[in-house]
Structure 1
Amino acid sequence: MITIRFYRIYDIGLDIDLDWLEKELASSFTTARASFVRVRPTSIIIDVSPLLIRLGQCNVEKDGENFKFSVFARIFRVGAISLCLAYEKGDADFKFLEKTALLFSEQEGLEELFLSHLNTLADILKPHIKGFSFTPDFFEDYTIYHMDWMDDSIDPMPLLAGEKIDFSPQMREEILKGTHSYSKNDRAIFSWDSALICDPDTPTDLFDLIEFANVQVFELRYYDRELSRSMEKMYDDIALADKLSFFRRRQLYRTIMTQLMQDNVALSEVTEKVNNLIKVTEDVYYARVYATVLKTLRSEQWSESVNRKIDMIKDNYSMLSDEVRIEHSNYLEWIIIVLIAIEIVMAVVERIV
């Protein structure tokens, strides 16, 4: 049997109370919570388990073959929504898996399907989530290929790279270095936008673990973008303030500082939640797998970028605070000078009189 899972992850920019949402949807939809079945509960710690909603099935015809997908969505507390199109075929061999993978390389031909189900999900959630909105063209995609047998003679490169060419040794080494095995009968290879899992059992735990890693990295990307927008607005506001009079400039500086403080607190809190989305503690194999997927997806670079921008916001807040304090001191000094001048003038006038 082969399984192909196409994922796309979006963000709505809001924290979600999943316990409340689950109760709201329970009467109309089939829902569930993520749980890992092969490990002890203490081995993987999930802050708040995401909510699963089944969205039915759909068909896609391509290259004369009909593909029937099961569609489901996972909603994460941090505001991420993961849509998955899952395809299974019981009597397929590796040749068929490779052909299908190349047919849907880079998820080609699935855009309208994802968008349609995203809109369906939006219609479901909007009545229950105030301020619900999303950007359909900003997402993270990932594909997982699963086959329930091991075959050392196969070449996984076309699946993981999305094309069938004569790959260089350097390219092979780069992609295949993310390979892990738990036993002699299984193997998992993780690339930057896809994974191949060979396992006689259905590795639902690995599916979920890879999804969590993608959500974590996507959320870092999302908030890196939000921080960039916040900083651009900050610089524009500072440039505008410099053209204003003293009193209006100081007032705008205080407004900018208030906004920076609010952004810093909010984004620091949400990035903390993102980084603690899931913790793999006692299971060595799953910990290695999760670390490999995060590394392959460049999680560390995105995290550093977010932290660097948060530090820049803090520095600009301090700079503006110092500027306001200095201008306030200068203002007080001028008041004192004016008062002294007035006293001198009054004293001179009294003598003359």
Structure 2
Amino acid sequence: MSIQYTELQVAQGKVLIYHLFDIADMIDLDTLRHKWAGRSTNIRLVSRRTSPTYLQFEKEPLLLPLGQRELMLTKDRRLSAEVRAKAFDFGVVSICWEVPFPRHWPTLVKEADLYIDSDQVAAQSRQVLDDLLPALKTALSQPYEQMLVEDYTIFYVHRFAEHLLADQLLEMASGDIASMIRGESKRLSARERQNVLDQHLSYFEDDLAVIAWNSSFIYDPEGSSEHVDILEFANSELLELRSYDTLLDRQLQKIYDELEDLPQKRFFTLFRNPYQQTSQKLLSLLIDVAELTDRLENTLKIIGDLYCARVYQCISSVLRLQEWQARVDGKLNSAHQIYSTLNSEISDRRSILLEVTIVLLITFEIVLFFFPLKGH
């Protein structure tokens, strides 16, 4: 039996395909702004709400338009796309491909998987980044050889052929929207559809945002962009937390390996601190990760705009950002405990050395008392 899709006509819309790369500890945006002079713009989050708000980046990311390029979805499917790069000060570069939303709604529902988690598009995004890296080089602090990547897709409808309210759209096409977001051409089960649609928001009666972990659907006749920017930022946040988690795993394993080797070298531990190098590495790791996480936490301020806060809370929940933060915090606590234990061990050894020195001095004084040196 063939699947019946809702016969909607899209008057205006776009598909946004993001690939975010964690390329360095930090990007000096002032240096980059100078390099991209006249071509880049600062990103400010503009809210359409009338209430007083504070919704801004502490250090506004830089946006660099890269013009029209050909995007190859498959060997036989090529589209003209607007490409842009966005640099965040905490070391992430986002590459975005913007292609027109197909006017025939069923076409995109059936082909949504081509836009989501595509190795083909990921390879093209990496090529765009590689082309930019020479210009980025002098702005990077501690560039990474291995880069973690996150991808995200947003299906954005500005207008349908006829004006629809959010409730009308959900009633007509909830199954299509759920399938689109999951990248499935087949109809999802009722429970799975509900799981997808549970994470939906509206501010006005004629706008809709359905948010999922690797893609979202947005219907907004006003063409607002703040929710798009928040979704992109949340994915950059996830990427950074994954990076910190990987860094802590790698460095803690090295420290565990070093500590396992230490008992074999105890024959000179009394007069030489075997933990000094390991302890210094731990302290450096703790300082570095604390600085990075602090910079990330202070990047975006959302105060007073309840809708934007709800969008951020929704995508944070879907991406499980709090769980990732808890993982990082747990490993930081482990590093703190190891550092405290090593410092305690060092302190104990110094106390023992001091006590041994005092005993030797007293012994020497006693020996001198009973066996004075000749001539005294």
Structure 1 residues 263 and 318: CA distance shift in structure 2, 3 A: same
How far residue 95 of structure 1 moved from its aligned partner, in angstroms, is 1.3
Q: Which moved more, 1:125-134 or 1:2-11?
A: 125-134
Q: Deviations over 1:44-90 (max 9, x none)?
A: 0311110011222221343744311211111001111111111114x
Q: Where in structure 2 are the equivalents of 1:36-75 lying within 5 Å?
A: 36-37=45-46, 38-39=48-49, 42-61=53-72, 62=74, 64-75=76-87
- Output the amino acid matched with 1:156: I
Q: Which moved more, 1:144-153 or 1:204-213?
A: 144-153
Structure 1 residues 198 and 63: CA distance shift in structure 2, 3 A: farther
SS of match in other structure, 1:243:
helix
How far residue 262 of structure 1 moved from its aligned partner, in angstroms, is 2.2
* C-alpha RMSD over aligned residues: 2.5
Confirm or deny that 1:140 pairs with 2:161: no
Confirm or deny that 1:33 pairs with 2:54: no
CA distance in 1, matches of 2:198, 2:145: 35
SS of match in other structure, 1:173:
helix
Q: Which moved more, 1:268-277 or 1:122-131?
A: 122-131
Structure 1 residues 305 and 346: CA distance shift in structure 2, 3 A: same
Task: Give the structure 2 partner of residue 15 of structure 1.
Answer: 26
CA contact (8 A) 2:181 2:215 kept: yes
Q: Which moved more, 1:299-308 or 1:51-60?
A: 51-60
Q: Where in structure 2 are the equivalents of 1:73-112 lying within 5 Å?
A: 73-89=85-101, 92-112=103-123
Task: Give the structure 2 partner of residue 283 of structure 1.
Answer: 305
CA distance in 1, matches of 2:216, 2:270: 56
CA contact (8 A) 2:44 2:56 kept: no
CA distance in 2, matches of 1:312, 1:52: 38
SS of match in other structure, 1:123:
helix
CA distance in 2, matches of 1:157, 1:282: 31
CA contact (8 A) 1:10 1:134 kept: no
Confirm or deny that 1:185 pairs with 2:185: no
SS of match in other structure, 2:304:
coil
How far residue 93 of structure 1 moved from its aligned partner, in angstroms, is 2.3
User: Among residues 178, 182, 190, which one is paired with 1:161 in the alignment?
Assistant: 182
Q: Where in structure 2 are the equivalents of 1:143-292 lying within 5 Å?
A: 143-148=153-158, 149=160, 150=164, 151-152=169-170, 153-154=172-173, 155-244=176-265, 245-247=267-269, 250-292=272-314
CA distance in 1, matches of 2:223, 2:234: 19
- Output the amino acid matched with 2:244: Y
Q: Deviations over 1:267-311 (max 9, x none)?
A: 112111212221211111111011101111000001111111112
SS of match in other structure, 1:300:
helix
SS of match in other structure, 1:145:
strand
CA distance in 1, matches of 2:131, 2:341: 47
CA distance in 1, matches of 2:107, 2:201: 24
User: Among residues 296, 314, 327, which one is paired with 2:336 in the alignment?
Assistant: 314
- Output the amino acid matched with 1:44: L
Identity across aligned pairs (percent)? 29
Task: Give the structure 1 partner of residue 132 of structure 2.
Answer: 121
CA distance in 2, matches of 1:108, 1:24: 31
How many residues are paired up? 349
Gaps of 5+ in 1: none
CA distance in 1, matches of 2:273, 2:214: 48
TM-score (norm: length of structure 1):
0.90
Structure 1 residues 323 and 315: CA distance shift in structure 2, 3 A: same
Confirm or deny that 1:24 pairs with 2:35: yes
CA distance in 1, matches of 2:279, 2:233: 35
Task: Give the structure 1 partner of residue 327 of structure 2.
Answer: 305
TM-score (norm: length of structure 2):
0.85
CA distance in 1, matches of 2:28, 2:78: 38
- Output the amino acid matched with 2:149: F
